[in-house]
Structure 1
């Protein structure tokens, strides 16, 4: 059974018939000024609610954008690193092509440069033995004599040809020491040094965004 509910009277009279309590009834008629006031207040409340909702949506959208950026940065760092590796490989290929073309046109240039760099080491030795590829022997004797004279070397220069040497490769033997150059070996050393630098740098290169910390590599 449900508990009985006390009946509530809308209007209560006293013993003399006067009204002592009356339940307020909904207002049915409003003056124009009051209607305008209610409308203005309702519009302001609605506008505030809409602005609050928009601000919440904006904050949520910004949070989602920030999270997406954080998730994308490791991938972007990987792409940037791959780009650096590709750029380095392209630079090596271009450098090798330029070096090969320079050796084709000036095959004795590295040897001349070596003699100039070693001028003080060889100035007192009586004989300098130069070993090159056989195809470089033609015309090289006069060029070496000219270079030796230019650097002040007064000893004898002896040329030797050795099969199997790379184009532009040579060895300088001056008794107490020696110097050698091989373009293939030099290119391999440059490539190895560049690969080591890229490997050491990894994904910890300069920030993708100025002022930001480098993106750590994913484990």
Structure 2
């Protein structure tokens, strides 16, 4: 199931979410009604009402991001030699100590990679907002809908300035700001994770 967001075409993924949150026939409101939520408490529009729109944005983008992270972390954990974990358990380590002292340190590279990748992806991502809120929230005026719903992000703002208002220079300047922010965050991650230490040859042969 973690692969589904990655292998599903973006427009299909967006249309599914539009259907999920449709106030009349959508899955979300039907499930909430089934568990006893009164009809007058149900959102009239998941796409336009705050804070439901922001919550939906986190879920829509987060599911795609989480799927990528789970694939990487699953592969990384399976690559850890079982002998290391078994030796720690024989020495009396608890499960928490195994996770803290063995698994997490060995996952520093994957964690750094996923964190950096997701940061750059979020800074540049606007396609799901464009498709979900553009198609489901108000048709052509996607920028106005996103702004009204509180889901406007810098990348979509840059896109709208370039291709809706034809302010290419202004849009390019915004994009350059995003590039600088992305580079600064990546350098910060390198510092936090100890990039130089990660690049050193392993002292343990496995």
Return the TM-score normalized by structure 1.
Answer: 0.29
In proportion to residue count, which structure has more strand?
A: 1
Q: TM-score, normalised by structure 2?
A: 0.30
> More helix per residue: 1 or 2?
2
